[in-house]
Amino acid sequence: MVLDPPLPKPLFARLTVIGIGLIGSSILRAALGRRLAEEVVAYDRAPEVRTRAEALGLADRVAASPTEAVAGADLIVLCVPVGAMGAAAEQIGPAVAADAIVSDVGSVKASVARALAAHIPGHAHIIPAHPVAGTEYSGPDAGFATLFKNRWCILTPPEGVNPAALERLEDFWAALGANVEVMTAERHDLVLAITSHVPHLIAYNIVGTAADLETVTQSEVIKYSAGGFRDFTRIAASDPTMWRDIFLNNREAVIEVLGRFTEDLIALQRAIRWEQGDALFDLFTRTRAIRRSIIEQGQETAAPDFGRAHD
Amino acid sequence: MVLDPPLPKPLFARLTVIGIGLIGSSILRAALGRRLAEEVVAYDRAPEVRTRAEALGLADRVAASPTEAVAGADLIVLCVPVGAMGAAAEQIGPAVAADAIVSDVGSVKASVARALAAHIPGHAHIIPAHPVAGTEYSGPDAGFATLFKNRWCILTPPEGVNPAALERLEDFWAALGANVEVMTAERHDLVLAITSHVPHLIAYNIVGTAADLETVTQSEVIKYSAGGFRDFTRIAASDPTMWRDIFLNNREAVIEVLGRFTEDLIALQRAIRWEQGDALFDLFTRTRAIRRSIIEQGQETAAPDFGRAHD
Specify the pLDDT at position B122: 96
Select the residue of B225, B251, B307 nearest A299 (Cβ to Cβ): B225
Residue A304 located in a structural domain: no
Task: Give me the interface pTM, i.e. the ipTM.
Answer: 0.83
Chain-chain contact of A237 with B208 (C-beta, under 8 angstroms): no
Taking an 8 Å cut-off on Cβ atoms, the answer to whether A196 and B227 are in contact is yes
User: Tell me, what's the pLDDT at A304?
Assistant: 44
Per-residue confidence (pLDDT) for residue B97, from 0 to 100: 98
- On whether residue B7 sits in a domain, the answer given is no
B310 — pLDDT class (breaks 50, 70, 90): very low
Q: Decide if A112 is inside a domain.
A: yes
* Same domain assignment for residues B34 and B153: yes
Quick one: A245 and A150 in the same domain?
A: no
CATH code assigned at A247: 1.10.3660.10
Chain B contacts of A302, Cβ < 8 Å?
303
Mark yes or no for CB contact A207/B290 under 8 Å: yes
Nearest CA in chain A to B272: A248
Is B29 in the same domain as B150? yes
Over 70: is that where the pLDDT of B1 sits? yes
Classify residue B309: in a domain, yes or no: no
Q: Contact A228/B222, CB-based, under 8 Å?
A: no
Number of inter-chain CB pairs under 8 A, A vs B = 319
- A1 falls within a domain: no
Residue A299: the pLDDT is: 60
On the question of pLDDT at B290 being above 90, the answer is: no
Model pLDDT, residue A2:
84
Report yes or no on A119 lying in a domain. Answer: yes
Closest Cα in chain A to B151: A226
Taking CB atoms and an 8 Å limit, are A212 and B299 in contact across chains? no
Of B218, B228, B275, the CB nearest to A248: B275
Asked which of B154, B184, B214 is the last residue of a domain, the reply is B184
Cβ neighbours of B240 in A, within 8 Å: 280-281, 284-285, 288
B 237-296 residues with CB < 8 A to A: 237-238, 240-241, 243-245, 247-248, 251, 254-255, 257-262, 264-266, 268-269, 272-273, 275, 277, 280-281, 283-288, 290-294
Please report residues of A whose CB lies closer than 8 A to that of B264: 205, 208-209, 212
Show residues of chain A in contact with B209, CB under 8 Å. 194, 257, 260-261, 264
Asked if B251 lies within 8 A of A272 by C-beta distance, the reply is yes
Last residue of a domain, one of B169, B184, B199: B184
Residue A308 belongs to a domain? no
Q: Are A24 and A172 in the same domain?
A: yes
Which 56-85 residues of chain B touch chain A by CB within 8 A? 83
Domain count of the fold of chain A = 2
Do B168 and B223 sit in the same domain of this protein? no
Report CB contact under 8 Å: B199, A269: no
Residue A162, domain member (yes or no): yes
Query: Which residues 150-179 of chain A have a CB within 8 Å of chain B?
Result: 151-152, 154
Does A204 lie in the same domain as A178? no
The number of C-alpha atoms within 13 Å of B235 and in the hemisphere containing its C-beta is 31
Q: For each successive 10 residues of chain A (311 residues), what is the average pLDDT?
A: 89 98 97 98 98 98 98 98 96 98 97 97 98 86 95 96 98 97 96 93 91 79 80 79 94 95 96 96 88 71 44 33
Q: How many CA atoms lie within 13 A of B257 on its CB side?
A: 31
Same domain, yes or no: A54 and A177: yes
Q: Of B184, B215, B232, which residue is a domain's last?
A: B184
CA distance B303 to A231: 9
Query: Could you tell me which of B155, B137, B133, B10 has the C-alpha nearest to residue B74?
Result: B10
Closest alpha carbon within chain B to A220: B191
Measured CA to CA, the distance from residue A258 to residue B265 in angstroms comes to: 9
Do A135 and A213 lie in a common domain? Answer: no
pLDDT for the residue B57: 98
Task: Tell me if the pTM is above 0.90.
Answer: no
Q: Is the pLDDT assigned to residue B285 strictly greater than 70?
A: yes
Residue to test with chain B: of A189, A201, A233, most B Cβ within 10 A: A233
Model pLDDT for residues B4-52, shown as the tens digit of each residue = 999 999 999 999 999 999 999 999 999 999 999 999 999 999 999 999 9
Output the 3-class SS for chain A: CCCCCCCCCCCEEEEEEECCCHHHHHHHHHHHHHCCEEEEEEECCCHHHHHHHHHHCCCCEECCCHHHHHCCCCEEEECCCHHHHHHHHHHHHHHCCCCCEEEECCCCCHHHHHHHHHHCCCCCEECCEEECCECCCCCCCCCCCCCCCCCEEEECCCCCCCHHHHHHHHHHHHHCCCEEEECCHHHHHHHHHHHHHHHHHHHHHHHHHHHHCCCCCHHHHHHCHHHCHHHHHHHCCCCHHHHHHHHHHCHHHHHHHHHHHHHHHHHHHHHHHCCCHHHHHHHHHHHHHHHHHHHHCCCCCCCCCCCECCC
Domain of A284 in residue numbering reads as 187-296
Say if residue A22 is in the same domain as residue A165.
yes
How would residue B298 be classed by pLDDT, with cut points 50, 70 and 90?
low
Question: Are A123 and A31 contained in the same domain?
Answer: yes
Give residue B305's pLDDT band: very low, low, confident or very high (50, 70, 90).
very low
Instruction: Answer yes or no: do A197 and A147 share one domain.
Output: no
> Chain B window 183-242: which residues touch A at a Cβ cutoff of 8 Å?
190-192, 194-196, 198-213, 215-216, 218, 220-238, 240-241
Of residues B207, B226, B280, nearest to A132 (C-beta): B226
Write the CATH number for A62: 3.40.50.720
- Regarding whether B43 and B170 lie in a shared domain, the answer is yes
